[in-house]
Chains A and B, each alone.
Chain A
Amino acid sequence: MTARLVRHGFLLATTLAVASPFVWMLLLSAMPPELSAQGAISLAIDPAAAAANYRAALTQTPLPRYLLNGAIVCVAALASQIFFGAPLAFALAKGDFPGRRWLLALVLMALLIPSEVLAVPLFFICYRLGVLDTYAGIVLPSLISPTAVFLLYQVFRAIPDELVDAARLDGLSARTIVWRLMVPLSTPTLAAITILTVVGRWNDLFWPTIAVTSPELMPPPLGIVAFRDEEAGTSYGPLMAAAAITTAPLILAFLAVQRRFIDSFTRVL
């Protein structure tokens, strides 16, 4: 009995501590501006104030644009990573060509390189290509993901060779086998790649800080920081509403498919 009490008391305490910034953000986003300007706190949620704050966040700031930019970057990065990653992974898993082992070693090395290490050279590449401060520049470092290639390589390797050989005997080209056979057989891995890429791209602050200056191109993390820098303590409610809206898509997606999220994160990080 005491053991249970200690266990649940401990977990309740850590849960409250972990949840506190989320709760505080939501409370402040539902507070009338007079109150938050005075620095007073009310724990009562005022539905009218909440509606006004969320409306202000969505109409008086470029927040919808930031969200759209985030979605564009996520979709473009994911599409490119599968488009370039799947054929590479297939060739590494089922192909036999000179240098295959070397190429696999390079992919594994690339997997270990921290992305910040690449920022200086990638900034220069973007500058030379003239894509700084464009969508192309934001997506460029994510055009391929060594993690995605490696995950696909693992799952493709587990698919029996007989299946691939049978498809070849049916006259399918290698490219058709990738897209019609291998990729459809790998949906759990594709889901994991989708989750890892979308979480990574949506939340990334470091690269957009470097590559983007125009407000119209800012992804949500950069946008929320720009909003914070502009507001001078007068629009705390809308700022918190904007923070909540920025965080909401991934949190809701996580709550909807928790198992998949947790599986993806325990597989690689």
Chain B
Amino acid sequence: MTARAAAFLALPGALLVLGLFILPALSVFPTALTDWEFGKRNLSFVGFDNFAELAADARFRAALSNTLLYTAVITPLTVALGLAIAMAIDGAGRLKPLYRTAHFLPVVATMAAMSVAWEAVLHPSFGLLNNLLAVFGAPRRNWLQDEALVLPTLMAIGVWKNLGFAVIMFLAGLQAMPRELVDAAAIDGAVRPLDRLRVLTLPVLSPVTAFVTVVTAKQGLEVFDSVAVLTRGGPGQASEVLLHLLYTESFKSLRAGYGSAIVVVLLVLMLGLVLTHRALDGRRVGA
């Protein structure tokens, strides 16, 4: 294939990658330094005013801290529970495929529709959860309207959604574990389950763990569907998150410059995530 023919083949796709991904992503940075609003013909350079305004905005501060807290809670929970479930499934014999299928369902299910289903589960009067709690004599609660409960409730839904991915990743890792290693560990005296976990399973799975951690944390930083459908950031700002704030600022209030500043914050958080992953990866290879 001549260089010309190859370049010609690549051109349409390359232009789309450039026009729909690279250039738009780069444009966010200069846009964040302007007071641009959608529909306005002129804009002016305002330096870091948008970021100063963000720092002073109580709603943004709530969104940032809620998003970080949400991510910091669902990530370790999803990873630990995912690993525990995968290890249990790995030795579950004939029922293995059934368990795996059941745990993976939320990954494929339409989150907007399942949020509507969750709303019914959490309904104060006829929800499944309150009815179950009533059986045990526990008080009924308004899970989505209570400022103290709303974020933990959304976190539980987040774990529910992301768990299946962790389970199948860990299962794949466990199945790839070399038989000789298992035998060697047994010869070395690591027979008790906790010892095996410490000297064998965790070290061998560490690349999978790092990957699942990063993917889950990314999902945490990107949480939107459940918040948009169930709480719209409320009550008050108790469940406001970055993407929902971006949606209301950029596309309801049309403040594109201000919205871009929120995007820059999100990008910095994600970059931190990628760098952490690389650092962890490097440490493992070096060890």
Residues in A lying within 8 Å of B, measured CB to CB: 7-8, 10-11, 14-15, 17-22, 24-25, 28, 36, 39-41, 84-85, 87-92, 94-100, 103, 106-107, 109-110, 112-114, 116-125, 127, 140-141, 143-144, 146, 149, 164, 168, 173-175, 178, 199, 202-203, 205-206, 209-210, 220-222, 224-225, 228, 236, 239-240, 242-244, 246-247, 250-251, 254-255, 258, 261-262, 265-266, 269
What are 26 A-B pairs at a CB distance below 8 A? A15-B99, A18-B103, A21-B118, A25-B116, A87-B10, A88-B10, A88-B17, A98-B3, A103-B10, A106-B14, A106-B22, A112-B274, A114-B266, A114-B270, A120-B28, A149-B17, A174-B5, A205-B224, A205-B229, A224-B113, A225-B229, A239-B116, A240-B117, A246-B110, A246-B112, A261-B104
B189 located at the interface, meaning its Cβ lies under 8 Å from any Cβ of chain A in the complex: no
Known: A97-B10, A149-B17. A117 touches B109 (CB 8 A): no
Across the interface, do A96 and B251 meet the contact criterion of CB distance under 8 Å?
A: no
Across the interface, do B224 and A24 meet the contact criterion of CB distance under 8 Å?
A: no
Across the interface, do A199 and B108 meet the contact criterion of CB distance under 8 Å?
A: yes
From A40, A114, A143, name the one whose CB has the most chain B CB atoms within 10 angstroms: A114
Across the interface, do A18 and B13 meet the contact criterion of CB distance under 8 Å?
A: no
Residue of A nearest to B112 (CB): A221
Give the contacts of B108-162 with A (CB-CB under 8 A): 108-114, 116-121, 125-126, 128, 131, 160
Residue of A nearest to B242 (CB): A116
A127 contacts which chain B residues (CB < 8 A)? 38
Which of B51-59, B72-80, B255-263 contacts the other chain? B255-263
B217 located at the interface, meaning its Cβ lies under 8 Å from any Cβ of chain A in the complex: no
> Distance (Å) between the CB of B192 and the closest chain A CB?
12
Across the interface, do B25 and A118 meet the contact criterion of CB distance under 8 Å?
A: yes
> Distance (Å) between the CB of B195 and the closest chain A CB?
15
Chain B interface, number of residues (Cβ within 8 angstroms): 87
Question: 19 extra interchain contacts, Cβ-Cβ under 8 A, other than A18-B102, A174-B1?
Answer: A8-B92, A41-B131, A87-B13, A96-B3, A99-B7, A117-B266, A120-B31, A123-B38, A174-B5, A205-B229, A206-B247, A221-B110, A221-B225, A225-B228, A239-B116, A242-B113, A247-B109, A250-B109, A262-B168
Known: A123-B251, A251-B109. A95 touches B13 (CB 8 A): no
B9 contacts which chain A residues (CB < 8 A)? 87-88, 90-91, 95, 174-175, 178
Across the interface, do B12 and A84 meet the contact criterion of CB distance under 8 Å?
A: yes
Across the interface, do A124 and B25 meet the contact criterion of CB distance under 8 Å?
A: no
> Distance (Å) between the CB of B168 and the closest chain A CB?
5
A112 contacts which chain B residues (CB < 8 A)? 274
How far, in whole Å, are A143 and B160 apart by their CA atoms in the complex?
31
